[in-house]
Chain A
Amino acid sequence: MHGNSAAMRTDSAQLEIFVQRFRSITEEMGFAVQRTGHTAFVNETADLGVALVTPEGEIFGYPQSIGITMFANLNFASILSEFDAFEPGDIVVCNDPYSSGGLSSHLPDVSVLAPIFSGERLVCFAYSYVHSTDIGGRVAGSLSPSSYEIYQEGIRIPPTRLYKAGELNADVLKLILCNCRVPDDNWGDVKAMITALRVAERRIGESVDKYGVDTFVDAMNDVLNYSELRARSVIETIPDGVYRFSDYLDDDVVSDIPVKFCVALTVAGDAITVDFTGTDSQLRSAFNIYSEGKPHPWLIYKIMFVLLTMDQGIPVNAGLLRPVSVVAPRGSLVNCEPPAAVGLRTTTGVRIQDAICGALAQAVPNVIPAAGAGYIAPIVFAEPNLERGGLKVNVLEPMVGGTGGHEGGDGLNARDVVDIANLRNSPVEVVENVSGVRILNYSLRQDSGGAGKFRGGLGLVFEFEVLEHNCLVTARGQERHRFRPWGLNGGFCGEKAAVFIKRAGDDRFNPIPKIDSLEVDAGDVVRILTPGGGGFGSPLDRDPQSVLRDVRNDMISIEAARNCYGVLIGSETVDVEATADLRARMKSDALHEAFSFGPERQTYDAVWTDDAWLRLMSHVQAVPVALRSSLRGRVWRAAQRLHEAEKKPLSALDIDACWAKITGKSISMKVETVLRRDVDETSCA
């Protein structure tokens, strides 16, 4: 069904009725999961999903008011191909990305799938997943950035019939639950999902009875065609071209080497291709994404949001993303090979979307906001459980930052990335009730939003005092501690993230690196700052009254008003004349560049030129996957050393030289002297 849609069979007066029914059925399913599910993720992040799926494996019914928003084009073709036939009463369970085409994109996402029949005829499938609190593996909660094999991340369940013709396979269930730390909750979640599948079965039965199975099947295909048609006509309004952009994760946790994402996004007529060539190779940490080389939601979900921003009436289903294809090199971060760990794919996926938006911003600058904080990190607090022994573990708050400013509006404060899962926070009063902390500050971070005609949204300040002894804080997903969220069209970049600690007895805060696992004790105070979004448009074009309002509300300081916006404020009013003068002077000095990345990235990019990076990746991609991570690291260090000696940007030839040296081939003497030291050090280490 790809390519231009076939003529629709469904009556044009009926199509909308089916669009609504399909959505409505999935929303009923979602509420059923949420009402009866057990694990915390159901509440805190609504990290659950439901869908109706065609026999070919495309989602045709998807909820909008509940659950994860970004999985509307999950592809079921792989999981369906694992089975020769289905019969009524079958329920398949699965959590293994590698045997389900990435349907579950990390192991905690336990998926269930049931065929729905009308008599003998298979009509469609109902699907649900819940992010389980724990699915086994080397750490509680199953997710750790430093895991490097999927085996460390929990039990792997390949597509398996948990129920066969209505009969529970108790042995399989026992095997699964035996491998999990919270088996009762896991089973509770599975039961909740089965409730949702039953809801779908009943409602679809009613629809098939009312409209007839042929009409129903036509409608199923036509809502997909309809979304595709609308998506294509939106894409047609985007100027054709190849738009390139790249963005970084600060590092891969196990080293300080930045992780790079390269995107070449081609708009051609009514289709989009996203080529990830040049993107980093798969890592020996948990940041990898298994995409099967297909347009997996984690590679392109923001394109769905862009299309829906441009046409809010497109029904949300897999048809919407039919016009999008990807080139995702095997063994790269966006198409890893087993047994790479994938637990932290959210961190990666979020930054990939920043890279895609940077590319699209060049095509439709009036639609795309500047970069948001690109940061989502639950602050997890573990303390001794004094009543029951062991540890008590709770999420204090999910940390997020501001969204980017955009043509027509400021960014939102502390709302970036919340859109992927209908995220919500926890009330301070509840947090203090269950955890041994006192929250001293949970507020917006002044001056963190990038200045712009439309200002970036502010990040957060979160500060808590530890009340118990021997506690541990973790915060997977902290990012943008090094590279800032970029500004767009003359807007400034947002402020980067930071963490501070004031140990008991100290009188001031000291900066510390991003939190991996931080030991804390009673009296310590931890302060976490999240990034603001980038600004859009020159801050010198911002309405001075808006600047005044921001100053009055302490969103920006009076100094920022002067230094970034050129607005002088005295006694609660704008000094109009002085402001005009100052702005005129600042305008003549201002550089007008499409993107503002901030000094950290400019410095890094100046060393690691595109040529140098692409050459490194082409070498790395040429060796077997098992060797890539190590060679990438060693050659990167060698090149970095070379740069430090020569104080010059790296070239492709420099990389060739370093590569040759590390892999044992001869090279010019000049580079060799520098490299020898590096190699010696490496071999000593």
Chain B
Amino acid sequence: MASERFQLGIDIGGTFTDLSLIALDGSEYFTHKVASTPSAPSKAVARGISELLSSIESSPRTIANFVHGTTIALNAVLERRGARCALIVSSGNRDILEIARLRKTGIFNLKSDVPAPIIERRDVIEVPLRGDDKDRSSLEAIADKVLAVLPSEIDSAAICLLNAYKGSDVERGLADALCARRPGLHISCSSDLWPEIREYERGSVAALNAYVQPIMSAYVDNLKADTSGVGLEAPLQITQSNGGVLAASSAKTKPVNTMLSGPASGVVGAAFVSSLSGVHDAVTLDIGGTSADFSIIRDGQPVHSTEAVVGDFPLVMPSVDVFAVGAGGGSIAWFDPFGVLKLGPMSAGAEPGPACYGRGGNRPTITDAYLVSGFIDPDRFVGGTMQLSRENAVKAVGGIAEQLGCSAEQASEAILRLGTATMTSAILPMMTKRGLDPRDFTLVAFGGAGPTHACLLAEEIGIQQVLVPPSPGTMCALGATIADYKSNHIRSMRGPLAAFSAADLQACFAELEQEGRDRLSAESERIEVVEVVRSADLRYRGQAFDVDVTLPEGVRLDEIDPDYLARLFHETYEKLYSNHDPASPIELMALRVVSTGRRPRPDLPRLNERHAAAGSLEVGERRLFYGNRFRNAAVYRRDALMAGDTIAGPAIVEQFDTTTFIVPGFIGACDAVGNLLVSKAE
């Protein structure tokens, strides 16, 4: 009988839909890729599931859990395909979205534009109500007035009242009054979604939610229909920007939480595989077609940011901190009119793609440079399913070579150096902004070209170790497969820390924790453990930035008081900035709780060790160009590596969806989990 023995994770990308299937007992791990179907994304999902299950001769009933990552909400915002919706605000606050924070992008350009708000000014409705009004007798009358002016074609509305961060009663009351009068109207309340002080940011969260809610809701329904069509009835979960998962029903009402889930899942997957090899502090590098995405893992957990943006809009709830740099496999190298070599920001994308794809692209890209340099094999790209043209690549890079007066290989190296510099110049300020030094971290490389470029970047920055996971092309799907339930909660509490009583702080944490438990128990009955991490946003009086001070595990609620938080703050500040000032008064800004419901976390299957008699693992040799000269590099097959195998650079390790380049001076070692750890030779 087919018992439930697998967890399934699925990630939809622009080109491929990736599947990842792990046995709950860690005995098996399968991955699979099918071409995406952008017009009806759930079709590819359904096809992928049936192909994968039939290839391992298993039935849909063996799947206990099905987690899905989707960019549907994100794309709706980026492409402005969301619903026309309304925003209800306090009187005098009509231009909350127009005024925003007064920022202007393209700051050096006199003709730069400010993105139009996703809700037009005419659909913003002012009401004589604030989120902290005590007198609620007018709610019914106000609801009548709102409905009198709300166009009938609008069925999704956001509410963001001034001071609603103090509590959700007024917004909720208005929402209920509206829904009672017009059933079917979907309301996104700012105080429900993210009750933090700062009306623009909170309103932006509510507006984004209202904007994508109808699309997400329809998508989830379609997906359920298509997957039950292939016999899959396991509960569906959707990944979130915070790296966790929530039930599909939550994603339908709070789709804003899924906005940045794609890259977040990749980092969650990377954190998971890295920790299996004992790597707990890492910078991740995911190179795709148009960008190189970086993120940070500390103590085995993805680092979160509250400064994420979606398109042009801020997203202040914590999301896995991913920053994109415009240097991907498709980034185009070119000369400016003054003869200076440049890279990007134009990208050949997936269509026509790099010149070597032979789809009509003729401009030199990073991928063409990898090919000309010999890092990738034109006959074995995506497992040999896609033939690349070395001739096209040489021709494209040849234009650069001619102008530089060098060989095509030297020109390729120049392009790659520029790519490396672009990444370096972006990542160093980002790390400093976060108070970190990349040299203390392992570089975890995934995505189509991450492993190809990782050693080049490590050398440039001075990173000592690179980790390439066993299946670098399906990291997002893996992340979805193993992600936990996760829910963030915040309460803005502003004032001198010393002015709060221990009882204030304890009561607030207790409430937030209760919210977390309630939220997670509504998600699933399968939640194993609820873990709670408490933190406080604190700063020295007069400073502009908060330090997120995390309370250690195991601290009892009754141990928390202002002195305790002050002590922790000084310690944290000292760690971050190597100084602190015990005499300076401290201000409290907010308290936070992250509730995590653990899902069963499987191990990955272990690799066997190589027997002495097994012979050479090298499968060939390739001439490649690196460091301004040709070298012979050994070529290996990733799926032939066994635990304990070591490989000295220069070397190439090939696998279905990527190629790892180990530069001279670095040595790769495969461990029992299947991770390839590439370190600087002593």
Contact = CB atoms under 8 A, between A and B. Distances in A.
B584 A184 contact: yes
Interface stretch (A340-348, A512-520, A549-557, A573-581): A549-557
Contacts of B464: none
A203 interface: yes
A429 interface: yes
B92 to A, nearest CB: 4
A42 interface: yes
Contact of B340 (A15, A43, A203, A408): A15
Contact of A552 (B94, B122, B414): B122
B199 A23 contact: no
B148 interface: no
A35 B542 CA distance: 12
Given A439-B92, A443-B99, A554-B121, A16 B340 contact: yes
Given A34-B544, A429-B162, A16 B108 contact: no
B327 to A, nearest CB: 11
A440 interface: yes
Given A17-B417, A184-B584, A425 B99 contact: yes
Nearest to B124: A553
Contacts of B526: none
A508 to B, nearest CB: 18
B104 A230 contact: no
Contacts of A25: 428
Given A12-B340, A27-B429, A423-B102, A42 B165 contact: no
A460 B92 contact: no
A424 to B, nearest CB: 5
Given A17-B418, A38-B543, A444 B98 contact: yes
A27 B426 CA distance: 9
B56 interface: no
Contacts of B197: 427, 429-430, 433
* Residue with the greatest number of chain A CB neighbours at <10 A, chosen from B92, B201, B584: B92
A643 to B, nearest CB: 38
A427 B544 contact: no
B540 A38 contact: yes
Nearest to B114: A412
Given A229-B338, A427-B200, A69 B92 contact: no
A188 B542 contact: yes
A398 B102 contact: yes
B669 to A, nearest CB: 27
Interface string A412-432: 111100110011110111101
Interface string B463-478: 0000000000000000
Contacts of A419: 104, 107-108
Nearest to A315: B340
A52 to B, nearest CB: 14
Interface in B89-120: 91-95, 98-99, 101-104, 107-111, 113-114, 120
A442 interface: yes
A16 B99 contact: no
Contacts of A238: none
Contacts of B542: 38-40, 182, 185, 188
Interface in A1-47: 12-17, 20-21, 23-25, 27-28, 30-32, 34-40, 42-44
A17 B417 CA distance: 8
A69 B108 contact: yes
A427 B584 CA distance: 25
A308 B121 contact: no
Nearest to B95: A443
A367 interface: yes
A368 B339 CA distance: 29
A312 B545 contact: no
A471 B289 CA distance: 59
Given A17-B418, A553-B122, A309 B110 contact: yes
A230 B338 CA distance: 8
A369 interface: yes
Given A24-B426, A184-B584, A433-B494, A13 B414 contact: yes
Contacts of B518: none
Given A27-B429, A463-B92, A226 B340 contact: yes
A586 interface: no
Contacts of A443: 92-95, 99
A12 to B, nearest CB: 5
B430 to A, nearest CB: 9
A424 B113 contact: no
* Residue with the greatest number of chain A CB neighbours at <10 A, chosen from B93, B99, B103: B99
A400 interface: yes
Given A414-B98, A429-B162, 12 more contacts: A28-B428, A203-B428, A400-B102, A413-B114, A419-B107, A423-B102, A429-B197, A430-B197, A443-B92, A552-B120, A552-B122, A553-B120
11 contacts: A25-B428, A43-B544, A309-B108, A409-B113, A424-B101, A424-B103, A425-B101, A432-B163, A433-B197, A553-B121, A554-B121
- The 7 A-B pairs with the shortest beta carbon distances in the complex, nearest first, are A43-B544, A24-B425, A441-B92, A20-B425, A553-B121, A13-B414, A27-B429
Interface of A: 12-17, 20-21, 23-25, 27-28, 30-32, 34-40, 42-44, 64-65, 69, 182, 184-185, 188, 191, 195, 199, 203, 206, 226, 229-230, 233, 304-306, 308-309, 312-313, 316, 367-369, 398, 400, 406, 408-409, 412-415, 418-419, 422-425, 427-430, 432-433, 439-444, 460, 463, 552-555
